[in-house]
């Protein structure tokens, strides 16, 4: 199972041990691949008039985030709200922070004094989070939100100094804020920032009394073959004799072991490929391209990984997963982002300083200090 970070919350803010994120804005230097099979929803095309209205609305905001479930978070005068795809501010800028973007119909927003609420897409408050709980970065998944009650600051610091020890108890909230699975699982210091704490495929890995096991959404212990979480669209990235390829669920080699892997940020983040929308990025040496499930090269190896000569490590991935027919690519010479389609055609040249993946038919991009959006048809708010 893909490990999920678990470093965001409310209660530990008072002790100065955790910090709330101010949001994603444009994401860089991040491998955004997922282990789960991606289903691409049918998107409603954005008309030219709507793109123009969106372009006219953006300059009033200091921060802009990507669209999720039809809404994009924005910040004006230090307060956060949401706009729709025509630029209408459907949820007023009244929150002090964004903690989780919309996920399964709910977003988590800060309201001050380390308090936060979950709101629905109409801006109604679904529930307020009890201050005693801390919770993870990913929001609701499978109708459950992992929450935990921390131990004291003193116990946390002891665990920090020792590099081990229990730092809290874990449970799960439902979508109305009720505690549907009691606080009964252990949160270890070693889990912080790396392990568990989120449902995927309707199961969650938990830890109690020295034992790891899986539970379902009702808290019942279940048998689960975790190896299949590493598969995307039926194939898994695998290694043999220092080379990488893809195997199926029976262990048969589907794509030969002939590709290399890379490590970002001085060994802190290894690049692991997976299939999305029928294609996967792969590399030979420091050059990246895309293959299909038969191992055919669809997009040539023309994207070079970024290498920080001064610091001595790889610091930029040049190709990313396909989302809704487009993939981000990065030009190491210009240090700009662009987008290609599944034939390798450059739908948008590498001209953006920052860019996110396509979500809800639009991708957030940035030129200089100006935010904008591109659609999957080659249109941009910068055109207006």
Range of the domain at 250: 231-368
Task: For residue 360, tell me if it sits in a domain.
Answer: yes
Is residue 39 scored above 50 in pLDDT?
Answer: no
pLDDT recorded at residue 170: 92
Task: For residue 3, tell me if it sits in a domain.
Answer: no
Which of 11-20, 298-307, 369-378 shows the lowest mean pLDDT across its residues? 11-20
Same domain, 139 and 239: no
Residue where one domain finishes, among candidates 227, 256, 287: 227
- The whole-number average pLDDT for the span 109-119 is 91
Same domain, 257 and 322: yes
Same domain, 211 and 350: no
The structure's pTM equals: 0.83
Distance (Å, whole) CA 52 – CA 49: 5
Task: For residue 6, tell me if it sits in a domain.
Answer: no
Residue where one domain finishes, among candidates 227, 259, 284: 227
pLDDT digits (tens, 9 = 90+) for 141-189: 999 999 988 888 888 888 888 888 888 899 999 999 999 999 999 988 8
Same domain, 297 and 161: no
Domain count, the chain: 2
Task: For residue 286, tell me if it sits in a domain.
Answer: yes
Same domain, 216 and 279: no
pLDDT recorded at residue 43: 53
Length of the chain: 384
Question: What is the CA 28 to chain-centroid distance, rounded?
Answer: 11
pLDDT digits (tens, 9 = 90+) for 274-300: 999 999 999 998 899 999 999 999 999
Encoded tokens for 146: 């992992």
Which of 82-86, 90-94, 125-129, 269-273 shows the lowest mean pLDDT across its residues? 269-273
Same domain, 203 and 351: no
**SS (HEC) of the chain:** CCCCCCCCECHHHCCCCCCCCCCCCCCCCCCCCCCCCCCCCCCCCCCHHHHHHHHHHHHHCCEEEEEECCEEEEEECCEEEEECCCCCEEEEEEECEEEEEEECCEEEEEEECCEEEEECCCCCEEEECCCCCEECCCCCECCEEEEEEECCHHHHHHHHHHCCCEEEEEEEECCCCCEEEEEEEEEEHHHCCCCCCCCECCEEEEEECCEEEEECCCCCEECCCHHHHHCECCEEEEEECCEEEEECCCCCEEEEEEEECCEECCCCEECCCCCECCEEEEEECCEEEEECCCCCEEEEEEEECEEECCCCEEEECCEEEEECCEEEEEECCCCEEEEECCCCCEEEEEEECEECCCECCEEEEEECCEEEEEECCCCEHHHC
Is residue 197 scored above 90 in pLDDT?
Answer: no
Decide: 355 and 323 in contact? Cβ < 8 Å: no
Residue appearing with tokens 């903690």: 99
Same domain, 216 and 238: no
State the pLDDT confidence band at 315, using cuts at 50, 70 and 90.
confident
Decide: 178 and 40 in contact? Cβ < 8 Å: no
Radius of gyration over every alpha carbon of the chain, rounded to an integer in angstroms? 22
Is residue 139 scored above 90 in pLDDT?
Answer: no
Same domain, 28 and 91: yes
- Percent of the chain clearing pLDDT 70 (strictly above): 84
Encoded tokens for 39: 């289903």
Select the more confidently predicted residue: 342 or 307. Answer: 342
Task: For residue 373, tell me if it sits in a domain.
Answer: no
Distance in Å from the first CA to the final CA of the chain: 44
Task: For residue 110, tell me if it sits in a domain.
Answer: yes
pLDDT recorded at residue 334: 92
State the pLDDT confidence band at 34, using cuts at 50, 70 and 90.
very low
- Report the chain's mean pLDDT, rounded to a whole number: 85
Encoded tokens for 115: 């308090």
Which of 60-69, 205-214, 263-272 shows the lowest mean pLDDT across its residues? 263-272
Same domain, 206 and 258: no
Same domain, 345 and 209: no
Task: For residue 381, tell me if it sits in a domain.
Answer: no
Decide: 95 and 80 in contact? Cβ < 8 Å: yes
pLDDT digits (tens, 9 = 90+) for 316-329: 889 999 999 999 99
State the pLDDT confidence band at 132, using cuts at 50, 70 and 90.
confident
Residue where one domain finishes, among candidates 196, 227, 258: 227
Residue appearing with tokens 């039926």: 234
Same domain, 120 and 190: yes
pLDDT recorded at residue 267: 57
Same domain, 208 and 103: yes
Task: For residue 240, tell me if it sits in a domain.
Answer: yes
């Amino acid at each position: 199972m893909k490990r999920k970070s678990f470093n965001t919350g409310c209660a530990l803010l008072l002790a100065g041990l955790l910090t709330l994120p101010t949001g994603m804005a444009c994401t860089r230097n991040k491998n955004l691949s997922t282990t789960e099979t991606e289903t691409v929803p049918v998107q409603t095309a954005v008309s030219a008039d709507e793109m123009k209205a969106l372009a006219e609305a953006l300059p009033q905001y200091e921060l802009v985030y990507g669209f999720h479930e039809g809404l994009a978070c924005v910040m004006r005068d230090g307060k956060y709200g949401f706009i729709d795809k025509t630029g209408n501010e459907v949820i007023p800028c009244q929150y002090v922070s964004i903690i989780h973007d919309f996920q399964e119909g709910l977003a988590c927003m800060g309201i001050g004094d380390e308090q936060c609420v979950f709101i629905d897409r109409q801006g109604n408050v679904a529930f307020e989070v009890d201050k005693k709980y801390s919770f993870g970065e990913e929001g609701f998944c499978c109708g459950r939100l992992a929450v935990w009650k921390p131990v004291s600051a003193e116990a946390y610091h002891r665990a920090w100094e020792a590099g081990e020890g229990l730092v809290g108890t874990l449970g799960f909230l439902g979508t109305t804020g009720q505690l549907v699975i009691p606080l009964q699982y252990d949160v270890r210091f070693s889990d912080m920032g790396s392990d568990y704490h989120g449902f995927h495929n309707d199961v969650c890995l938990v830890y109690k009394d020295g034992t790891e096991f899986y539970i379902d959404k009702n808290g019942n212990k279940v048998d689960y073959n975790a190896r299949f979480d590493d598969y995307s669209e039926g194939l898994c990235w695998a290694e043999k004799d220092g080379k990488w390829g893809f195997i199926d669920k029976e262990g048969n080699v589907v794509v030969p072991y002939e590709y290399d892997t890379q490590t970002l940020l001085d060994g802190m983040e290894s690049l692991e490929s997976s299939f999305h929308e029928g294609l996967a990025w792969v590399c030979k040496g420091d050059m990246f391209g895309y293959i299909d499930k038969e191992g055919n090269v669809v997009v040539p190896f023309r994207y070079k990984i970024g290498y920080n000569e001064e610091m001595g490590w790889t610091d930029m991935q040049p190709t990313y997963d396909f989302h809704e027919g487009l993939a981000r690519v990065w030009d190491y010479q210009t240090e700009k982002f662009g987008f290609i389609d599944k034939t390798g055609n450059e739908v948008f040249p590498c001209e953006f300083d920052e860019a996110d993946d396509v979500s809800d038919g639009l991708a957030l991009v940035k030129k200089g200090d100006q935010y904008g959006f591109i659609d999957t048809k080659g249109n941009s708010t910068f055109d207006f």
